A and B are shown apart, each in its own frame.
Chain A
Amino acid sequence: MSMSVSRIARAVAAKDLRIELRSRVVSNQVLPFSGLVMIMFAFALDNDDVLQRVAGGLVWLATLFSLFILVQRTFAVETYDGALDSLRVAGVNPQGIFVGKSVALFVQLLALESVLFLSAIVLYRVNVDGSGLVLLVTCVLCASAGLAFVGTLYGGLTAGARGRETLLPLLLLPVVAPVLICATRATESALRSGGVTVGEGWPWVGVLAVFAAVFGLGGLLSFGSLIEE
Chain B
Amino acid sequence: MNSEAQAIKGVGTPATRMYGLMAIVALGWVLLGGLIFTPEDAVQGDAVRIMYVHVPTAWVAYLAFIVTGVASACWMIGKKHSLGFDRVAGASAEVGVVFMGMTLLSGSLWGRITWGTFWVWDPRLTTTAFMFVTYIGYLAVRGLGGTAQQRARRSSVIALLAVLEIPLVHFSVVMWRSLHQRATVLSPDGDIKMDGLMLFTLLFGVFGFSVLFAWLVSHRQRIMTMQDAQQTSALDAAVTERLKEAQV
Contact = CB atoms under 8 A, between A and B. Distances in A.
Given A153-B161, A200-B179, A218-B164, 10 more contacts: A157-B157, A162-B145, A174-B137, A177-B169, A178-B168, A181-B175, A185-B176, A214-B168, A228-B153, A229-B153
A128 interface: no
Contacts of A211: 168
Nearest to B155: A157
A175 B175 contact: no
B245 to A, nearest CB: 30
B133 A174 contact: yes
B141 A214 contact: no
B140 A226 contact: no
B44 interface: no
A122 interface: no
A178 B137 CA distance: 17
Range for the number of chain B residues in contact with chain A = 20 to 34
B164 A167 contact: no
Range for the number of chain A residues in contact with chain B = 20 to 34
Given A178-B169, A229-B150, A207 B164 contact: no
A44 to B, nearest CB: 21
B158 interface: yes
Interface of A: 153, 157-158, 161-162, 167, 170-171, 173-175, 177-178, 181-182, 185, 200, 203-204, 207, 210-211, 214-215, 218, 222, 225-226, 228-229
B153 A225 contact: yes
Contact of B144 (A162, A175, A210): A162
B154 A157 contact: yes
A167 B164 CA distance: 20
Contact of B157 (A178, A181, A200, A225): A225
Contact of B140 (A153, A167, A185, A210): A167
A204 B137 CA distance: 27
A203 B164 contact: no
12 contacts: A157-B154, A157-B157, A170-B133, A174-B134, A175-B161, A175-B165, A203-B175, A211-B168, A214-B164, A218-B164, A225-B76, A226-B154
A170 B172 contact: no
A161 B144 contact: yes
A207 B172 contact: yes
A72 B45 CA distance: 53
A215 B164 CA distance: 8
Interface in B161-178: 161, 164-165, 168-169, 171-173, 175-176
Contacts of B145: 161-162
